[in-house]
Structure formats: C-alpha cells, structure tokens
A = this chain, B = another copy of it.
Amino acid sequence: MLDTLIKNAVVIPMTQRNLVLRDCSVGIRDGKIAYIGSETPEANEVIDAAGRTVMPGLINAHAHTAMCVMRGYADDYSLRSWLFDKVFPVEARLDERAIVAGAVLGIAEMLRTGTISFSDMYFCQPAVAKAAERIGIKANLCNAVIALGDDYDFEKDRAVIETRKLLEEYGSTGPIRADVAIHAEYTSSPAVWKRVHEWAKDHGVITHIHLSETRAEHEEAKARRGMSAAAAFEANGVFDTPVLAAHGVWLDREDMDILASHGASVAHCPVSNMKLGSGMANVRAMTDAGVNVCLGTDGVCSNNSLDLFEEIKLSALLAKAEALDPTALPAYDALKMATVNGAAAQGRADETGRIALGLDADIIMLDTNAPHLRPSYDPIATAVYSAHGSDVCMTMVRGRILYRDGEWLTLDIEKALREVEEYAVPIVLGK
C-alpha cells in the first residue's frame, strides 16, 4: 500500500533528455518514490494531477536566505555603497531572532515557488537549521570563514564554531547538513583555506565558496597571488574535496578546466550578477568545459526574489543572447541545472533532483491549467519559458506536502511575516 499516489499527471522526470510521461502516476511510500507508471495502485491519499505537471523539486544552490529581512532595502546602489553603507551595517545589527525570521520567510517563498532544498551561506546557521528542520525543507548550511586581520583565530571564529555545531547536530548527511565555507579568495589566506579543506576532508562535506563574482575581484586575485582565485584555491588543495563555487562570472577558460577536472560545481546566479552589475557568466563555456553548473538566487537584496523559475528562464535567455544562437541552452538543459545538477552540487545526486524509483519524493506540481500556460505543445518549454514560481501548486519534500494551493502546511505564514516586519525590520532600519 502506497502512502500517496499522484495520478493523471504529465511528468517531467529529468531522467532522460526531453522525456515527458503522460497520464502517469507517481506513488510514494515512506518518503520515497515507490511507483512510476500508467497504473493507479492503491494509496492512502490520492492526488488528482489532471491538468498539472509533476516534476522534481528545484534546488537553490546559492542563497543567503535570511537577507529576506532586507528585501528592497538596498537597490540601485553601487556595489561598494551597497555593501559598506547598506548591507554590512545592517548585518552587524541583526541578531539570531531576526536572522531566523528572515530565513523562515525565505523558506516560505522557496517552498511556494518550488524549491525543495537550498545551499545557504549566512550567520546563526544552527538556529536556521532548527527552523528548516521543523518546516521540512532540505538544506546544506554553512557560515563562511572570513579571516581578515592579524589577530584572526580559526578556533574562535564564529563561523567555525557554528559549523562545528551543525556538524555535530546534523552531520554531513540527511535532509539538513553542514557544509564548510571559505567566503572568498579576497577575504582570507591560504593558511586558512588549508584548514577549511582539512576540515572538509575529515568530515566528508562540501566546501562552499564565492568565486570570481566581479571583474575587479578576479583581476585583483591575479595581482595578489600571481594566479587566479581558482588556481590559488587549487594550489592549496581546496578542490581536492567537492566544491560548490558561487557566481564564476569572470572565470577564465583555464579556471573552468580546473573546476571541471576536480568535479566542482558552479552556482550560476544570473539575476544577482546582473542586478549588481557584476556581469553575465558564460554558462555554455563552463558546461562545455565539463563544469557542473547549477542555479542560485543569491540573497534577495540582489534579486529581489527567491523564485528559481526566474533563474531557469534567464539562464536560457542569457546563453542564447550571448551566443547569438537560439539553440544555445535549450529548455531541458536549463531545467537540469535547477534539478539534477543542483542535486549533484549538494552531494544529493543519489537522493533527489529526478523523479526516479528509490529517490526521495521531492516533487512539485505546476498548475498548467492557468491560461498563461496554455496551449502547451511541450511541457518542458512551458515549465521553462512560460511558468513562474507562482504557478507551483504543490511542493512535497520527502513525501510530505509542505505547500499546497496557497497554504503552507508546516509554517504559520502570518506569524512569519509579523516576526519579520515587527521584529526584524526595525533592526534593519536602525530604529
């Protein structure tokens, strides 16, 4: 007996290029996908998906979710002013309660728009982990090491202490897990990178970094190290364990080869990169080089949303516009970045990112009855070029429905909004 059966669905399993299954049932037992086929085996709960598209839940591979408390607080500023006059001073004021409030609101938005797992770099992650666990979304959480100043002490670094706590409480497997993180080349030194890498090796976890986001950062690394940031990280062993590198806007071809040869992933964040004036990453070159490219929203301060459907469509558009070739990055490949590739980047390739037997039932449903999604000649094109996150009508993680038809089933959205607007916003405003 199945726990849940989703029947009459159009399914995009993401197991084979352009494969679409019609009049298909997906069965779930003990949180896993236990049936895919044209029959309708018995189940405790049956969901009729007629006129709906069922696909793997999306993976947001680079986020600073708690920044939701600052949505729209710092737009259209120069990067320096954005960081030093707006973001950093606010972050210095945010306490754990405000950060958890922002994270919960961000998680609500992610669930509402079809994201089932996110890789997050921010502060107070042990508390965020508890919130994510309570709500039921998956997450790879890290607090990035920033090792500036002569008196930097790895052992006393808040990021290190928090990550150790996460590793202790959640470990390197399971729905919530710890990553380790180096903030970026320009905010730390090789001695610290080696320590983080040793740590990653000892615990078998992913190292999350920011890499070559802006031209200035990329060029300054070369001037400082005599080599690119990617090459410097490689020379210090950072890539010897799995790395998830955010942005990669200014990577040289040689950098891409370094990442590819070590099996590293790049979290492409097109909206954020464009909005901050950082540039436009060359996804096709990275993919051609063999890099696993996935997608991220970055924080809402540079977006200003956590809707991966925007990143999916924009990544396809950007690749076509840059190549002056409408066949560049077809719809399937754009969707693959947000599912299969994201799962690989999170170390969850055998667990999620596809609708396949034995994988976790991390499933979303699009309401393709909506007039703006009709007619539909190709469900994959519809999902990529016409759908928005607002078309998601169900988000299920490990077989458990967390969002459905306007309702969040594991969080109190009104309370979450009050907590942000009544507690966190005054802190942001310095009141």
Mark A residues whose CB is within 8 Å of B: 69-73, 75-79, 82, 105, 108-109, 112-113, 215, 271, 273-280, 300, 303-307, 314, 316-318, 320-321, 323-328, 330-331, 371-372, 374-378, 381-382, 385-386, 388-391, 413, 416-417, 420-421, 424-425, 428
How many copies of this protein are present in the complex?
2
Pair B323/A277 contact, Cβ less than 8 Å: yes
Please, how many angstroms separate the alpha-carbon atoms of A112 and B374 in the complex?
A: 14
**Closest residue to A378 on the B side, CB-wise?**
B72
Pair A277/B328 contact, Cβ less than 8 Å: yes
**Closest residue to A318 on the B side, CB-wise?**
B274
Report B-chain residues with C-beta under 8 Å of the C-beta of A323. 277
Give min CB distance, A413 to chain B, whole Å: 6
Pair A303/B385 contact, Cβ less than 8 Å: yes
Please, how many angstroms separate the alpha-carbon atoms of A172 and B413 in the complex?
A: 50
Pair B372/A75 contact, Cβ less than 8 Å: no
User: 8 closest A-B pairs (Cβ-Cβ)?
Assistant: A274-B317, A274-B321, A277-B326, A304-B385, A76-B330, A390-B390, A72-B381, A75-B381
Pair A371/B105 contact, Cβ less than 8 Å: yes
Give min CB distance, A218 to chain B, whole Å: 12
* 16 CB < 8 A contacts A-B: A69-B375, A71-B376, A71-B377, A72-B385, A75-B331, A76-B330, A78-B327, A82-B326, A215-B324, A274-B318, A278-B321, A279-B321, A300-B386, A304-B382, A371-B413, A388-B390
Pair B280/A321 contact, Cβ less than 8 Å: yes
Beyond A75-B385, A390-B390: 17 further Cβ-contacts under 8 Å?
A71-B375, A75-B330, A75-B381, A76-B326, A109-B372, A112-B371, A113-B372, A275-B385, A276-B320, A277-B327, A277-B328, A279-B324, A371-B413, A374-B417, A375-B420, A375-B425, A388-B390
Selected contact of A76 from candidates B73, B327, B416, CB within 8 Å: B327
Please, how many angstroms separate the alpha-carbon atoms of A325 and B78 in the complex?
A: 7
Report B-chain residues with C-beta under 8 Å of the C-beta of A320. 274-277
Give min CB distance, A369 to chain B, whole Å: 9
Selected contact of A326 from candidates B105, B275, B305, CB within 8 Å: B275
Pair A372/B326 contact, Cβ less than 8 Å: no
Selected contact of A381 from candidates B109, B304, B314, B321, CB within 8 Å: B304
